[in-house]
Amino acid sequence: MSLSPSALPFDDIRNLIRQMPGPDEDAVAEVRARDAQLTKPAGSLGKLEELAEWLAGWSGRGRPKVSRPVVAIFAANHGVADKGVSAFPASVTRQMVENFAAGGAAINQICIAHDLGLKIFDLALDMPTPDITEEDAFDEANCAATMAFGMEAVAGGTDLLCIGEMGIANTTVASALLAGLFGGVPGDWVGPGTGVDAEGMARKRAAVEQAVARIEGTSDPLEVLRRVGGRELAAMAGAVLAARLQRTPVIVDGFVATAAVAVLHAMDPRALDHCLFAHLSAEPAHRMALEKLGKEPLLDLGMRLGEGTGAALAAGIVRAAAQVHDGMATFADAGVSGKGDN
């Protein structure tokens, strides 16, 4: 998938938003019809039945399967890290990317446990975006190009895309982005991130307030992303948009990933209908963000690691939902009496 030349780079993104397909209602109906014949009481599998319908609607398959799931982690660095907003130095971003490559991170173990593919996208780690308290993160061309790069996450084929991130100081950026999109008191969007202390929290809150004040009056969602976002957030937004256009269901990880896709929701409230939100992060403002999006998380495990871990755990449940629906016998297959049979 590529963006065609236009007068303004963001025009291409806006055109793609207008081209988004809706769900395949015939596939959903096929799932419901089969579910009614499976060897179980109606509704007895609860959320798993809803997940099977969701998969069908966005994959276009009446017997949905998850055979090529991929976790995509987007990694980037941020100039605002120099403001002391994180408990860790910016060098940790690259060190963790190397850890992912070596198979030593939590996400590697969850992917092994659930048989998930893993892709890591290094977004110019040696060139942090500018400090958003002082200047814009991107110009329009670079922001659009980063979104286009994120679209490559679906290249090569996948039937379930899980998005996650790695980037020291990116909860600061996510807080500024959400405050810019949804308003409210900027400090209310700020949490401890990787475990910053009270002094760090004060610096973080001040940074978010400064960034939001600097872009006061900016209302276009793509402009908010351009001015106070970061490379991994722009790339995740691009990946989710590309997945929609290719009818690929998406699982969104935690606080930072939710902030990234909130940009698409602000452009069109239907833009995230193909997305499942994996879990409720322990980052306090994640609940606020999900409420603004009108989304319910699948899990609540007190996690706040990022790196796609919550999305990968949720993918295991989604795979189970697909397998249960596809693999279960019907009453007729099993010779089991259905409700009302004599």
Residues annotated catalytic, as ranges: 307
Distance of CA 258 to the CA centre of its chain: 5
d(CA 215, CA 177): 10
The answer to whether 263 and 225 have CB atoms below 8 angstroms apart is: yes
DSSP lists the bridge partners of residue 276 as: 251
The token pair at 326 is 């596809």
Residue type, 205: R
d(CA 225, CA 190): 17
Backbone angles phi, psi at 198, to 5 degrees: -60, -40
Give the HSE-up count for residue 269: Cα atoms under 13 Å, Cβ half-sphere.
Answer: 6
The answer to whether 4 and 12 have CB atoms below 8 angstroms apart is: yes
In order of 59, 69, 70, 151, 319, the CA distances from 156 in angstroms are 16, 12, 11, 11, 20
The token pair at 307 is 């790196």
Helical (H) or strand (E) element with 122: strand 117-122
